[in-house]
Amino acid sequence: MAEINRHWHQRHRSPRMQKWQHRVLDGIPHGGPLRLDRQNSFRGFQNDVQHAATETYLITQLALTLLRYLGIGSRWISKFLLLCLYSLFLMPGFIQVLFKYYVSKYIHRSIVYGMEPRNRLDLYMPPNCDDDSPKPVVIFVTGGAWIIGYKGWGALLGQQLAEHHIIVTCLDYRNFPQGSVSDMVADISTGIGYVCQNITNLGGDPNRVFLAGHSAGAHLAACALVKQAQKEVFEDAAKLSWRSHELKAFFAISGGYNLPNLVDHFHQRGLSRSIFLRVMEGEESLPLFSPELLVLSPAFQEAVPHLPSISLFHGTADCSIHHEASVAFGNALQSVGAKVTTILYAGKTHTDLLLQDPMQGGVDDLLADILAVIHKGDDEAKAEDFMVMKRRRRLVPEIFLQLAHRVCPF
């Protein structure tokens, strides 16, 4: 439950901005998870410290869980050392992003969206917004190999998009072993439904809601999207909390969509076959959670018109999930008549698109391509997007970015 102290900040915003911010936060249904904190600033500071400690404990647990399932061998010792170097080189950027994540009055953390453990989301509101017009909304699902996924991984993208007058929600969800793939998809579907149902209360435009995911998050979001489209055909649509065709577009970044083709690859990368199959609820369940195979099945044909336009993004130097995964999914979608675009980035790794490129400052390709879809047909917004991106400052020296690219273990 987020407690937000804004008494001091209200004196430093324009009257129009104050009106918009109050409309957004006070519009959330009474008794909901997001509320104004009427305590003093010291109480707010205490809450932030407690929240930071809780989040640090959770991240430590995730890391230890991952190590427990991967085992301790020479391969993983070397990968761990590379990860330490990689994190060290990007540390100047991480510190700046985390500082803003914890102190910004426009970021509201850990809003409850469901009844299950870790059903929380982070809300990123556009800063310095002087108009009351409804804003586009991006629902982002972070990755983490289905084991160490965490909503905080989307902090950099959330902050970036918010600078372009876009509301961003980053969903957290149960990871293995707390839950298996069906639990993860269910959590994400619940989170999407929560955002869609509260979209106007959040100041968002219900006609401009976008779904996005990265890596395992792209896979899980695709599963939720495809399964929801099927429900709209075979179940009572009036009972659904959201509808796939109401989404404006889906952005899938560096994901894998055919699980049977990924088992051996992940095993060679260190995620053992036995663990992967436990995450995915057994070998017989792999086709049931493979969006590429689902859209090709005869039973899905009636659901194809319910899909929004889909954009697949992938780096050609991605070793964690090869870019052929996005190409194959794009071909499958195209073969059944879905609206799809596949964009490949030459020489980009699994993390370049979301970390190294944004930390370089200026215009980065992925953000530009996402904004081009969100602001399609709005030439004024596109021109402003370009100017905002050009002004973005560098977070990490170039030499550190190059070194991080070389040692990246992903």
What's residue 235's pLDDT? 85
Query: Distance of CA 362 to CAs 60, 147, 160, 163, 166, Å?
Result: 33, 33, 11, 13, 18
Query: Distance of CA 67 to CAs 62, 85, 272, 405, Å?
Result: 9, 17, 12, 23
Contact 2, 110 (CB under 8 A): yes
Q: Which long-range contacts (CB under 8 A, 24 or more apart) does 379-385 make?
A: 381/164, 381/165, 384/164, 385/164
In this structure, which amino acid lies at residue 75?
A: R
Partners of 311 in the beta sheet?
Answer: 251, 341
> SS3 for 39?
coil
Contact 137, 175 (CB under 8 A): no
What's residue 194's pLDDT? 96
**pTM for this one?**
0.85
- Looking up tokens 């540390």 gives 91
Left, alpha or beta for 263 (phi > 0: left; psi -120 to 50: alpha)?
alpha
Do the bridges between strand 167-171 and strand 135-141 make them parallel or antiparallel, or are there none, so unpaired?
Answer: parallel
Q: How many CB atoms lie within 10 A of CB 213?
A: 28
DSSP H or E run through 380: helix 379-391
Report which of 304, 124, 151 is spatially closest to residue 217, judged by C-alpha positions: 151
φ, ψ of residue 284 in degrees (nearest 5): -70, -20
Residue 113 to residue 115: CA distance in whole angstroms: 7
What's residue 115's pLDDT? 93
Q: What pLDDT tens digit does each residue of the chain (410 aa) get?
A: 333 333 333 333 444 444 444 444 444 443 344 443 434 444 555 555 565 566 656 656 655 665 555 555 556 677 778 888 999 999 999 999 999 999 999 999 999 999 998 999 999 999 876 677 899 999 999 999 998 889 999 999 999 999 999 999 999 999 998 899 999 999 999 999 999 999 888 889 999 999 999 999 999 999 999 999 999 998 887 889 999 988 999 999 999 999 999 999 998 887 889 989 999 999 999 999 999 999 999 999 999 999 999 999 999 999 999 999 999 999 999 999 999 999 999 999 999 999 999 999 999 999 999 999 999 999 999 999 999 999 999 999 999 999 998 888 87
Report which of 223, 231, 244 is spatially closest to residue 299, judged by C-alpha positions: 231
Helical spans, DSSP H, in 71-213: 74-103, 155-162, 181-197
- Residues designated as active site: 215, 318, 350
What's residue 24's pLDDT? 44
Joined tokens for residue 134: 């409804």
Helical spans, DSSP H, in 198-258: 216-234
> SS3 for 134?
coil
What's residue 78's pLDDT? 76
Residue 329 to residue 383: CA distance in whole angstroms: 32
